[in-house]
Structure 1
């Protein structure tokens, strides 16, 4: 191994000294180490079980996190990282990646997503140096793609139509391995090489695969350039960052654990589509009792509001006619005014414009005429005036209330279990701090999951 590969450069040492908040002393200076020096010299921040949270990566992540949370402390961040690692490990052990990432045939493969987030995160630690070395290396070489081979590869099959199986067949895999999208110079001590379609294909989500199958060569070459940049950055991190393999891998493992934790939330029903499959949430919802439904209904009555009747006036006019209308003038008795009435149980208007008028009437303040408002289809203008809008609530024994309350009560129980699980895992792991570091001043507060999308109430 060359000296350049084994030793951090002076610039790297300076950057890491800044991240770690240390004061570097000349060797042999004879200055006795203080307690602060001893703390700064520690290579780790905390330990939980067999897992060590190393200092340099944690300091770097703290620098990045403080862009959004300037008051975040090292200990608080370390606690967050510990929770991510523990919850990610529990998700892998108890649910498994097959269930956590069931959508991998549509989305990016989790390992692709993790690697890209890992590289993007670490690029932010040394952005100027990486960019400078990338520009100096200029690894991309002028490359001409074999157009006949490219077109022949996609000449059969379903093109850009949705496919049940997005995998390349055997002949296409062989052709993809031969089809060079980009050639490059050697970098990081490695040889010159090429990026083929076979390198790019596994990195795509379903939209990317469809673009490739549709013969979008510009997209394919852009993906090859992105992959070359990623390979350069990864090589740079291993050779020139000054970090050990364990330190680099720690950041990757944190990102991987966080991905699993978020996937566990989705699988549980804590995030994402509230109507999607979520076994834990569905089981809890099925077990919600009538008493719990009634209690939730009383406590959240506003979520079950519904429109019961609306009466109003509408006036359609062309642009010139509307321009002459006095703003806010009462519509009662005006020429061309039409009365609108709707009661609970009536069918919703089938015409799109009429349904839009009904929505306008219930949203506009009663008694006040609106200014001219253009139709959604752009073919005319309308003024409305609500004369009476009556709202009520869905009955407690209605299917709307039963469904929404079951989902909401199940979500509350899931959130409580999610937070309790964090406490249990952290307590069981026994988080220990490095010498000189004290636990956060405030008690540990479990992370709340992202709120599930969708509202529980229905106002129609």
Structure 2
């Protein structure tokens, strides 16, 4: 990477890709909508980052692994079009509105619509008449598909040389599963709205290509930057670096399956605090019939009364005369019951809040207040399944992060990058934080 670029109008070149000042300015507009403190240096670094990582990911992974394609999600093509249109509006929205007002004399955006068709009862019949009674998934049958391809819901003319149509088939194919369900439910308003959305996306892309003031090279670069962002985010999610906490990451799962016993043992010795188990606790409890009495008991405890005395006064449990003494509660070898689980997680010498015992929302169930007086702990055996699972997952995540940082550092070092001297980037290899989102989706 060299800070030696002096070509007029350019801020950076990455191998064969050129980033102009005009492009950087537009992505600055986008970034500042979510991050008012965004700087040109930070945005340029993100653009270069995405360019390099997306190029690497396209070689290493299948396209559907980078932009997910499933029955419940939008298709990759639709996701790209959505993101592109959203970024165009974010970057040029004020100019688009000003031009529309000047051209039409109205504050309402004008998209060149020349015809609009609303679905009729006869249309629905032709579209859905040959559908099976039981639907395992939503798709159109041959006759319905042919009809959808012929039925025009919107006609538009953006300029003298650009006109087109939005068919019912276009709308249907742009939907995820929930959207297709809406169409199969004959939702006329929803279908009309989605036709309008598609036309507006086409208008945004047309505006970028013909009215934005960007050169054809800059237009193509704008589109590629948006795709690179989607694919880079998809790559990070696929390997587990930026995935949803509840997502099942097959890449991580495979990495975890390859962790050795020796690696688990080393991790265990270095992270013993992660594998503490409660062997037994000495505890007391107060059981009441409802929340109101439980709150009275807590109030009495806060006033300084002993737990044993409050248990004798308020508890309905058989052990109330013993001050709610549960004695030593041993952690069972297999699953613990509700009260045991509560005791094992409760800190020592801290009165718990009142807890409603398990039951249906409208059932009359008891409430519990607990106090753990002593707690004895040990470490889970290094050979236990729980240690193997936790350690292998943690080790896999460490390896994935190291792999990602290594790939990123290598791609930057091997790329032919030239940057304008005043745009010094803040590189933090190898221990930087994982990206934050910068573009609009």
For 1:87-98, what aligned pairs fall within 5 Å after superposition?
87-98=53-64
User: Kindly tell me: are residues 338 and 55 of structure 1, through their superposed partners in 2, closer, same or farther at Cα, counting changes over 3 Å?
Assistant: farther
Q: Tell me which stretches of 4 or more aligned residues in structure 1 moved more than 6 Å.
A: none
| Contact persistence 1:423–1:446 (CA under 8 A) | no
| Contact persistence 1:316–1:382 (CA under 8 A) | yes
SS in structure 2 opposite 1:309?
A: strand
Question: 1:138: Cα distance to partner?
Answer: 6.2
User: Kindly tell me: are residues 447 and 186 of structure 1, through their superposed partners in 2, closer, same or farther at Cα, counting changes over 3 Å?
Assistant: farther
User: Kindly tell me: are residues 326 and 400 of structure 1, through their superposed partners in 2, closer, same or farther at Cα, counting changes over 3 Å?
Assistant: closer
Instruction: Indicate which of 306, 331, 352 corresponds to 2:277.
Output: 306
Q: Which runs of 5+ in 2 are unaligned?
A: 102-107, 302-306, 320-325, 437-441
User: Kindly tell me: are residues 87 and 193 of structure 1, through their superposed partners in 2, closer, same or farther at Cα, counting changes over 3 Å?
Assistant: closer
Does 2:83 correspond to 1:117? yes
Alpha-carbon distance between aligned partners in 2 of 1:160 and 1:447, rounded to the nearest angstrom: 52
User: Kindly tell me: are residues 150 and 137 of structure 1, through their superposed partners in 2, closer, same or farther at Cα, counting changes over 3 Å?
Assistant: same
Alpha-carbon distance between aligned partners in 1 of 2:418 and 2:435, rounded to the nearest angstrom: 28
Alpha-carbon distance between aligned partners in 1 of 2:228 and 2:171, rounded to the nearest angstrom: 25
SS in structure 2 opposite 1:306?
A: strand
Deviation per CA, 1:212-267: give whole Å up to 9, x if none: 22333332222112112222222222332211232222122112112222222233
| Contact persistence 2:65–2:234 (CA under 8 A) | no
Calculate the TM-score normalised by the size of structure 1.
Answer: 0.75
| Contact persistence 1:415–1:448 (CA under 8 A) | no
Instruction: Indicate which of 222, 244, 248 corresponds to 1:276.
Output: 248
Deviation per CA, 1:309-333: give whole Å up to 9, x if none: 3544241323564565461433433
SS in structure 2 opposite 1:347?
A: coil
Instruction: Indicate which of 131, 137, 147 corresponds to 2:110.
Output: 137
Alpha-carbon distance between aligned partners in 2 of 1:162 and 1:416, rounded to the nearest angstrom: 42
| Comparing 357-366 and 388-397, the one that deviates more | 357-366
For 1:70-85, what aligned pairs fall within 5 Å after superposition?
70=36, 72-85=38-51
Deviation per CA, 1:41-82: give whole Å up to 9, x if none: 822111122121222111221233245555544334323211
User: Kindly tell me: are residues 263 and 173 of structure 1, through their superposed partners in 2, closer, same or farther at Cα, counting changes over 3 Å?
Assistant: same
Alpha-carbon distance between aligned partners in 1 of 2:37 and 2:203, rounded to the nearest angstrom: 34
Instruction: State the structure with bigger RCO (CA 8 A, min sep 6), 1 or 2.
Output: 2
Q: Partner of 1:15 in structure 2?
A: none
Question: 1:431: Cα distance to partner?
Answer: 0.9
Calculate the TM-score normalised by the size of structure 2.
Answer: 0.78
| Contact persistence 1:178–1:196 (CA under 8 A) | yes
Instruction: Indicate which of 399, 405, 412 corresponds to 1:413.
Output: 399
Q: Partner of 1:231 in structure 2?
A: 202
Deviation per CA, 1:10-62: give whole Å up to 9, x if none: xxxxxxxxxxxxxxxxxxxxxxxxxxxx97x8221111221212221112212
